[in-house]
């Protein structure tokens, strides 16, 4: 999303939350994960952002304009490299976790 390429500053984020997974296979599925900057990982986990099937980052109306600016979410962000495996989990995230 941000283009940050410093692995030490990135976090592995589950798309379908660990606690919502029904099996260990789901928890450990590489397609149930995204590599995000810490602030985006927190926003994603809390449902303030999600990702559309084309990779566009969708921001919740619950975030104020000031918060969007501070978080760098006041511009169009896009996640590259999504596969159908990711998209299956992103449907769950948009339907259950995201607070549109």
Q: Over the stretch 21-44, which tens digit does the pLDDT of each residue have?
A: 999 999 999 999 999 999 999 999
Q: Over the stretch 49-88, which tens digit does the pLDDT of each residue have?
A: 999 999 999 999 999 999 999 999 999 999 989 999 999 9
Q: Measured between alpha carbons, how far is 72 from 59 in angstroms, rounded to an integer?
A: 11
* Nearest residue to 58 (alpha-carbon basis) of 5, 1, 14, 10: 1
Q: What is the pLDDT of residue 73?
A: 96
**Does residue 12 contact residue 37 with C-beta atoms inside 8 Å?**
no
**Does residue 43 contact residue 49 with C-beta atoms inside 8 Å?**
yes
Query: How many other β-carbons are positioned within 10 Å of the β-carbon of residue 62?
Result: 12
């Amino acid at each position: 999303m941000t283009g940050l390429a410093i692995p030490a500053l990135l976090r592995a984020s589950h798309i379908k939350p660990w606690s919502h997974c029904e099996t260990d296979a789901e928890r450990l599925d590489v397609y149930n994960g995204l590599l995000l900057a810490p602030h985006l990982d927190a926003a994603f986990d809390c449902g303030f952002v999600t990702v559309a099937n084309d990779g566009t980052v969708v921001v919740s109306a619950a975030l104020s304009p000031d918060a969007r600016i501070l978080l760098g979410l006041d511009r169009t962000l896009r996640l590259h490299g999504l596969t159908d495996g990711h998209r299956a989990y992103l449907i769950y995230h948009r339907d259950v976790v995201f607070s549109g």
